[in-house]
Amino acid sequence: METDKRKQTIKFYVAVTVLVLILIIIAIIMIKYEVEGEQNMPFKLSKIIVVSTAEGVEQQGTDKKWAFNIFQNNDIYFYIDKNNEYKSEKQMYIDSVSIENIEVINSPQIGEIKAYMPNSSEGRMYSYAEDSIVDEVLKYNGATRSDSRNLKIGNQGGNIAIRFSNTGIGKYESNDDEQIVHDGTLIKKLEKTTDEIKFTVNFDFIIVINKNKYKAKITLDLPCGDIVENGTANYEKSDMKDIIFKREK
């Protein structure tokens, strides 16, 4: 009788120990996923390129030789490639890629930040028309090839683009300049500094693959260099360890 009780007690403690170990393993897996996210997606965000500069948008109804509203522009390009390490018997394809929940978390000292989608008409890549402003979601649908102007991304990999502009830096008028260079040095003519136009933006970056949604939060400090002195700045990010994608239901 005493032996049976001892056996039952041992079985109980063994069962409890196994259960605790299982719970610990599950917790470790969950914590690892929260920290590292999806490690083997069919497609991966491989590169982000930022081009920061400025331009003058011509004012109407003035007798000045030069009259511009100065916009500070940051063109962002996201490159998505097929993950050759991902193995599946199914044909994998990109349904869509979208940028959502845009938030300026550190505002510039001067100006107002707006996001713009590419322009679908001929000519300039971006238009400052009201219908080009991204209010909530910028979505690119999968297609046979990428076409930013028509919001298409190649379903086997491609790229998308968005512009973040500071549209309220100021106005520049002059009769003295022989020519105007449309870059960040225009801001210097307003006696403004790079520190005054710095801002930070973040947003959700969502890739839908075979109807499975993967989401990451991306944060960018803009502009990406001292454009007031140098005119234009470029930045390329290829290390994506800090951009964590997680599967969404």
Residues 31 and 55 in one domain: no
The reported pLDDT for the residue numbered 7 is: 67
Number of domains in the chain: 2
The reported pLDDT for the residue numbered 35 is: 46
The reported pLDDT for the residue numbered 179 is: 83
**Token pair listed for 4:** 């049976």
Q: How far apart are CA 42 and CA 169, in angstroms?
A: 42
The reported pLDDT for the residue numbered 33 is: 45
Residues 101 and 208 in one domain: yes
Residues 32 and 47 in one domain: no
Residues 4 and 115 in one domain: no
CB atoms within 10 A of CB 83: 15
120 touches 149 (CB < 8 A): yes
pTM comes to 0.85
CB atoms within 10 A of CB 153: 25
Residues 171 and 76 in one domain: yes
Residue tagged 């106005």 (tokens):
171
Structural domain including 183 reads 41-248
Residues 93 and 13 in one domain: no
Residues 19 and 121 in one domain: no
Q: What is the pLDDT of residues 75-129, one digit of tens each?
A: 999 999 999 888 887 899 999 999 999 999 999 999 999 999 998 776 789 999 8
Residues 102 and 65 in one domain: yes
Residues 26 and 114 in one domain: no
Residues 28 and 151 in one domain: no
The ranges of the chain with pLDDT < 70 are 1-5, 7, 12-16, 18-39, 122
Residues 222 and 162 in one domain: yes
Residues 160 and 238 in one domain: yes
